[in-house]
Structure 1
Amino acid sequence: MSFTLGLVVNPYAGLGGSVGLKGSDGAETRAKALELGAQPKASARAATALSELAGLSFRLLTWAGDMGENAAREAGLDPVVLGQALDTPSSAADTEAAAIKLAEEGADLILFAGGDGTARNICAAVGERCPVLGIPAGVKIHSGVYAITPRGAGQIAAMLIRGDLVTLSSGEVRDIDEEAFRAGKVRARYYGELLVPSEHRYLQHVKNGQREDESLVLDDLAADFEETMEDGVCYVMGSGSTVAAIMATLDLDNTLLGVDLVRDGELIASDCTAEQLLALTEGQETRIVITPIGGQGHLLGRGNQQLSPELVRRVGRDGIYVVSTKTKLKALDGRPLLVDSGDDTLDRDLAGLIAVHTGYRDAVLYRVE
């Protein structure tokens, strides 16, 4: 009997990321993101995952149009379409209905593209009835049920289809309050667990929410960065508490969970969108200051989609200034830093050893994969 793969895509997952909305939950947020020029990318990310399944023999079940069919056909597959969204655009209820049907039809694995909100929908619909795996497409991805990249999701699915030995384990579903998130506060909540194939190379770890008192280390990091700043250079200041410590040393207001732009010691723009960053840095020497997400190690593609592939290419690998405490790096247990920009060529170009600034005139070389 052939392997049966289910596919559900939340077509609007991640829509708010590039325009600085910190999420995509709710019709109003989605409408605002589209008004600001955001482009849906979840379907394309699902197609990237499915492209890893070329040449394998399996049955693919999905929902019509943007909820899976389009991604499957883009990847050159011929899916069986079981139903379609009742709402336009599709809703959380549509995601849950699709997942329930896929489980009822005997899916050996349900692949779903989305963010933490989508993971909540899948959890509510099927729980641990059948294995599931997330294709990362959202703005906020704290849950431990997602692959580290779309291709990673496809590679895990391919292993299962081929019959390779892959451990199944429970993965936590976590989500945060988007309204509080936009106000700079992280309020995470546990929603349950899903049965996930846990091939360690490709599965994302749960975000580390612990905040240790490392004020002296952060002060050293900030002092080191301040001494390296050059006149006339634009500094794109990424999200996170480590970068926030630098902004505090510079005595500048900071968007903890957004991206700001600094030049010549002044705050040029706050909580920028991807398009704003491209416009404001046009023709300017620019550097990007980022820190990895604790517990996960992601540098790009998690909560900072404002840092578009176009901007990263313009800055270049040498223009990326990575800051982290050694405690955060040690917590990765040797796992590499990760990039998931949405552009495979760019991700490959960023791979390799990179300098991570860990204190005053102190840096280590760490691997990016």
Structure 2
Amino acid sequence: MRIGVVVNPIAGMGGRVGLKGTDGKVAEARERGAEPRAPDRAVAALSALGERAPDAEIFTYGGEMGADEARSAGFDPDIVGEPDGNETSAEDTRNAVCQLVAASVDLILFVGGDGTAVDVAETLEEMDAKIPMLGVPAGVKIYSSVFAVTPEAAGRVAARFDRVEEREVNDIDEDAYREGDVRAELRAVARVPVAESLQSSKQLGGGTVESLAAGVADDVEAGVTYILGPGSTVGAIKSRLGFDGSPLGVDVWRDGEMLARDASEAEILSMLGERNVIIVSPIGGQGFIFGRGNHQISPDVIQQSEVEVVASKTKLDGIGVLHVDTGDDEVDNSLRGWRKVRVGRFERRMLKVE
């Protein structure tokens, strides 16, 4: 099996520092102390691949675009090209895909977010190449259905697949996203391995959550620090608590006062108290409660907090299980299992976290 690997090493850097994406924001992300997360996730995926397909041949670009990660995972990769300059770009990704197509790989395993998925899919389409692609989730926003649910799952799927199907590649306007406006656009349709461990496309619809928000507000306790995640469901809770929160960011609230709006990981950590409660809602259609669009709620924040999951009944009707992908195996394992999800003022529903 010949696997082509493309890593976008800057993908996801804007997440924990509150930038909601890295497009055009790399320098600002670095200034805020952001650290790359894509390389580690690439190594995790390739290590899982190596465990199941140790004889797989890896073809990739040099340095952080795949060669370094492949070697860290125990492979001796074939280098098909080098990035142009110190800071990688979308053009580097597209050039890498062209070289991997020329190398006749069986699958392109890419590491990044929706922007990277668009670069890979559009290049394959322009070349009329029928090579399937599979995403290792590393970006802040992941609306496409071409990604595995975790890096390890991506490695397992890449090692053993025998069928492909067409799936959507979506992207959103990051500038509008930072202003609270979600503008999703179908950019391509790609061939992807058939597997249960792939995520669905992000659904933008939702149901009424007024009674749910009222129930959360009724249960608020003095002295407790509340970390409220993004989305319309939690947004209704913020409104019920009497403050104008960030629709797509993470806000911190305690004793009737908003301590931070659209907070970064560092800001959240600095405001934690003796007791902290994270309130999050799963992404419609996908079921992720951590690891998609709320990287500011990092493993360090989660380890110091209780977690309350809220969702409308309508949203849960389209979700079989919940997912977590924080990048920390210990934290992910602590979150897995059966969990009560608040669906109304008093009602709760049991749902499994995987």
Q: Same fold (TM over 0.5)?
A: yes
CA contact (8 A) 2:157 2:193 kept: yes
- Total equivalences in the alignment: 349
* CA deviation string 1:86-108 (max 9, x = no partner): 13201100000001110110110
In the aligned structure 2, how far is the partner of 1:293 from the partner of 1:167?
Answer: 27
In the aligned structure 2, how far is the partner of 1:208 from the partner of 1:88?
Answer: 37
In the aligned structure 1, how far is the partner of 2:177 from the partner of 2:66?
Answer: 29
State the Cα distance separating 1:265 from its structure 2 match.
1.5
Match of 2:346 among 361, 365, 368: 361
State the Cα distance separating 1:336 from its structure 2 match.
1.2
Counterpart for residue 163 of structure 1: none
CA RMSD for the aligned pairs?
1.0
CA contact (8 A) 2:112 2:139 kept: yes
Counterpart for residue 160 of structure 2: 159
In the aligned structure 2, how far is the partner of 1:97 from the partner of 1:359?
Answer: 50
Counterpart for residue 186 of structure 1: 182
TM-score by length of 2: 0.97
Deviates more, 1:132-141 or 1:46-55: 46-55
Counterpart for residue 104 of structure 2: 106
What one-letter code is carried by the residue in structure 1 that aligns with 2:62?
A
* CA deviation string 1:225-271 (max 9, x = no partner): 01111100000000000000011111101101000000002111100
Counterpart for residue 243 of structure 2: 252
Counterpart for residue 255 of structure 2: 264
In the aligned structure 2, how far is the partner of 1:280 from the partner of 1:74?
Answer: 37
Unaligned runs of 5+ in 1: 161-165
Identity across the alignment (%): 44
Counterpart for residue 90 of structure 2: 92
2:11 matched to 1:20?
A: no
Match of 1:208 among 200, 203, 207: 203
What one-letter code is carried by the residue in structure 2 that aligns with 1:204?
Q
What one-letter code is carried by the residue in structure 2 that aligns with 1:306?
Q
What one-letter code is carried by the residue in structure 2 that aligns with 1:291?
S
* CA deviation string 1:293-334 (max 9, x = no partner): 00000000000000110111111xxx10110011111112xx
Which aligned pairs between 1:52-131 and structure 2 lie closer than 5 A?
52-55=48-51, 56-127=54-125, 129-131=130-132
Match of 2:312 among 307, 325, 336: 325
Counterpart for residue 300 of structure 1: 290
CA contact (8 A) 1:103 1:129 kept: no
CA contact (8 A) 2:50 2:56 kept: no
Question: 3-state SS of the aligned residue for 2:145?
Answer: coil
Match of 1:314 among 301, 304, 315: 304
TM-score by length of 1: 0.93
State the Cα distance separating 1:54 from its structure 2 match.
2.6
Question: 3-state SS of the aligned residue for 2:117?
Answer: helix
Counterpart for residue 139 of structure 1: 140
In the aligned structure 2, how far is the partner of 1:110 from the partner of 1:198?
Answer: 14
Counterpart for residue 228 of structure 1: 219
2:239 matched to 1:239?
A: no
